[in-house]
Structure 1
Amino acid sequence: MLSLATAVPPFSITQDAAKALGRELFAGRKALYDRLQGVFDNAGIDQRNIVAPIEWYGHNHGWEERNRVYLEAAEALFVEAATKAIAAAGLSPGDIDGVVTVSTTGIATPSLEARVGPAMGFRPDVRRVPVFGLGCAGGVSGLSTAARLASAEPGSRWLFVTVETCSISIRLDTDDPAALVATALFGDGAAACVVGGDAPGIATIRDSAEQQWPDTLKIMGWRVEDPGLAVVFDRAIPPFVNDNLASAIDAMLAKFGLARSDVGRLCSHPGGAKVVDAIEQALELGAGSLDLEREVLRDHGNMSAPTVLFVLERLLKRGLPDNTLLTAFGPGFSCAGLWLERP
């Protein structure tokens, strides 16, 4: 890994303002709001960045309008994060041999890297690998894919970019409790990394693994509906993590030739405060061990796939231990893992 950069959209909202807005927007569903309003207070979030002015969220929007906002914001976030990552690697856009793009919150055909490539200065022969459907696991799975492609062609340099605009999926036309939970959790952002080449980097990607559990498709994901995507958040996520994470992590580490005692730091996607608590409990890390995860959740909310890379960015500034395990949960229900080594 030669570089890592992050980007957030220009609009922001505090959690207190989001709670007040939620009370207003869900006024026609007072019983639902009264039952679930505590999620705003217990989410561990102070503020979030969002891709549209606050007034935009007070109106119902269909697919066309939501995706218009997605395309405009995702292209801008892609360019910002990618430009910073390429510069931090000491490269120019023309040095990039391939691009892996992960995004699951909108539809872009042509894909995002094709839409911004000419303006950024990518070569006409740059390879493109757009990936849809990974959800929150996309930050780890996408980086793993870029690393495997780079290792398959020694000396090549691959750019990985993940952009998510979760906030545009906020819905006012449903009694689904997950819709109100999304209003309390979702933020927007992007992250980018350059991997490959021969120069020493900021971290060495050693291996990756994934675990998918059968009969869990309804735990997390999107439902495709007429007004737009509808979030699927099952209340079973934290207890499922508590019951199943340890065995999945042990299996991944065994594949890497490691044990839990070899891992200096777990770097995990903070999907929510209860999920972070469940990770600590499942792996016996001790309450409060995942401090950087809580910091990112506090400052940015759940941005889906990019979020774990915001955590990694802070860990790199603090100092990477000898061995770090990146993890993220996603639709499937799945867990993606990536072994990073201090260079």
Structure 2
Amino acid sequence: MDQTAALVSLATSVPPHLFHQNEILAAAHALLADRYPQFETLASLFANTGIRHRYGVKPIAWYLAQRGWPERTGAFLEGAEALFLEVARKAIAEAGLSPAEIDTVVTVCSTGIATPTLEARLAGKLGLRADAARVPVFGLGCAGGVSGLATAARLAQSRPGSNVLMVAFELCTLAVRHDELTKANIVAASLFGDGAAALVLRAGDGGATRIEASGEKLWPDTLDVMGWSVDPQGFGVIFQRTIPDFVLENMGDAVTEILARMELSVADIDRFVCHPGGTKVIMALERALSLDQGTLDHEREVIADYGNMSAPTVLFVLERLRTAGLPKRSLLTALGPGFTASCVALRHAA
């Protein structure tokens, strides 16, 4: 019997507060335009992202006040706990399981800090067993959905028959800053939203969609591409290079290299499932992967409906592709701090 991990279920959730892109632009203009002369030039970013609306854990008025670490952390814990419970329950129910049947929990998040970690805080409310293994993962950023899936798959494969729950959630909106008058901060304000995805994996007892292989590539001397700075106010976004240009120059060769280590080629892939960082990133991915413009249609729909939610975003794309019908072989890709490309190959039996 095939001992690779199978995708048993996949669910997504977003917090309750819906923000239309023009609302966010108006709020940003009110806060920043008088203090930052370049704002009017950069305001076009809000229209060029391809985003219609996105979601946040707090109402828009909350973000208009200055916030420091204690308030941001309090908002993170409150919002993350609600989102984690909702999406985990969905994925467990779709898998036909009870929470007590989950053997391992992998928690992926880079937008807040909690010790004890979220799955420990929520073990009682969720109904996890006291002996369930916990694997919290921090710092993968936008690559977290793919890298977290790869980690969860290896854990499932190491114990055939066990149930591994992976939850990827990010509350990107809590990092909004009023004090950092920079292009990077305007880019972040134009792009990021909150959301969560969860899935259950199991190896050894069949399953239509299997995690066939995974791989990563870390580029040297790229720590300035993406990340967080940390100060008394909280996290501050780092974008010091143009990511679409980096994708265009580097992603094609990286995917070819990763696929070769999987003993696959680009010709073996029926559908690329990509983390949609924004419209320009999607266009750069299509060019880098030699795809026809418009091929990454689900990616464009997800960025339009939810914005860039960091780690879980690519799993929102995968959910739509599952509904539409997975091809025989697909490759999930995402880029994150490091700077790193992460890939997971899925094999689907119709």
Tell me, in whole angstroms, the C-alpha distance in 2 between the residues paired with 1:320 and 1:256.
20
Give the CA deviation at 1:235.
3.8
| Structure 1 runs (4+) greater than 3 angstroms displaced | 197-202
Tell me, in whole angstroms, the C-alpha distance in 2 between the residues paired with 1:101 and 1:245.
27
**Does 226-235 or 104-113 show the bigger shift?**
226-235
Residue 111 of structure 2 corresponds to which residue in structure 1? 105
Residue 133 of structure 1 corresponds to which residue in structure 2? 139
Q: Which SS does the other structure have where 1:29 is aligned?
A: coil
Q: Which SS does the other structure have where 1:65 is aligned?
A: helix
Give the CA deviation at 1:198.
4.0
Structure 1: which 5+ runs fail to align? none
Contact in 1 for aligned 2:103/2:163 (Cα 8 Å): yes
**Does 283-292 or 27-36 show the bigger shift?**
27-36
Q: Which amino acid aligns with 2:304?
A: R
1:79 aligns with 2:79: no
Give the CA deviation at 1:286.
1.2
Contact in 1 for aligned 2:33/2:40 (Cα 8 Å): no
Q: Which SS does the other structure have where 2:34 is aligned?
A: helix
Once the two structures are superposed, residues 78-122 of structure 1 have per-residue CA deviations (whole angstroms, 9 ceiling, x without a partner) of 101100000000100000000000011000100000011111100
Q: Which SS does the other structure have where 2:212 is aligned?
A: strand
Of 188, 191, 195 in structure 2, the residue corresponding to residue 185 of structure 1 is: 191
Contact in 1 for aligned 2:108/2:168 (Cα 8 Å): yes
Residue 63 of structure 2 corresponds to which residue in structure 1? 57
Tell me, in whole angstroms, the C-alpha distance in 1 between the residues paired with 2:146 and 2:254.
15
Residue 74 of structure 2 corresponds to which residue in structure 1? 68
* TM-score when normalising by structure 1: 0.98
Give the CA deviation at 1:342.
0.5
Tell me, in whole angstroms, the C-alpha distance in 2 between the residues paired with 1:37 and 1:235.
19
Residue 155 of structure 1 corresponds to which residue in structure 2? 161
What are the residue-to-residue correspondences of 1:158-307 with 2, within 5 Å?
158-307=164-313
Alignment coverage as a number of residue pairs: 343
Give the CA deviation at 1:199.
4.0
Residue 37 of structure 1 corresponds to which residue in structure 2? 43
Give the CA deviation at 1:273.
1.0
Contact in 1 for aligned 2:17/2:55 (Cα 8 Å): yes
Residue 333 of structure 2 corresponds to which residue in structure 1? 327
Tell me, in whole angstroms, the C-alpha distance in 2 between the residues paired with 1:160 and 1:234.
31
* TM-score when normalising by structure 2: 0.96
Tell me, in whole angstroms, the C-alpha distance in 2 between the residues paired with 1:236 and 1:15.
22
Tell me, in whole angstroms, the C-alpha distance in 2 between the residues paired with 1:299 and 1:119.
30
Q: Which amino acid aligns with 1:340?
A: L
Contact in 2 for aligned 1:3/1:201 (Cα 8 Å): no
Give the CA deviation at 1:174.
1.3
Give the CA deviation at 1:257.
1.6
Tell me, in whole angstroms, the C-alpha distance in 2 between the residues paired with 1:67 and 1:177.
25
1:16 aligns with 2:22: yes
Give the CA deviation at 1:234.
3.0
Q: Which amino acid aligns with 1:81?
A: V
Contact in 1 for aligned 2:224/2:241 (Cα 8 Å): no
Give the CA deviation at 1:178.
1.0
**Does 47-56 or 199-208 show the bigger shift?**
199-208
Tell me, in whole angstroms, the C-alpha distance in 1 between the residues paired with 2:232 and 2:238.
16
Q: Which amino acid aligns with 2:61?
A: E
Contact in 1 for aligned 2:104/2:132 (Cα 8 Å): yes
